[in-house]
Amino acid sequence: MSRTIAYWGSTGVVSVMLMMSLMYLTGSEQVVAGFAKAGYPQHLRVVLGIAKPLAGVVLLAPGLALVKEWAYACVTFTWLMASLSANLSGEPPQVWMMPIALLALLAVSYVTRPASRRIRMLASA
């Protein structure tokens, strides 16, 4: 039971945070300035504004085990790079530690996911 709570709690928080990336598509001054400060092109903001919410939906959806593996991997890479980028851009620790904290929740989600949300391995001959 506690494994189920850990899975759904961590997956829910991670998915909500990923869905919040839809704000990248608004073109708000704060988001545009953040990407510019980090030296990223604005089209990356648009790509992430579409891809991250889709990853959040995939993590919550039933089935799609292989797509979930890709979502976990891509979100891991994205949050590692976000943390590194924020740190190298001179942001204070509370900014660049947020992706690390979310990455820890993502790890809990990945480790505690039920068998129905895992890729089935083929038995060796």
**Full 3-state SS string of 69-120:** HHHHHHHHHHHHHHHHHHHHCCCCHHHHHHHHHHHHHHHHHHHHCCHHHCCC
Considering the entire predicted model, what is its pTM? 0.86
CB crowding 54-75: b at 16 or more within 10 Å, else e: ebbebbbeeeeeeebeebbeeb
Q: Tell me, what's the pLDDT at 104?
A: 95
Report CA 34 to chain centroid distance, whole Å: 18
Digit-coded pLDDT (tens) for 61-87: 998 889 999 999 999 999 999 999 889
Which stretches of the chain score pLDDT less than 50? Answer: none
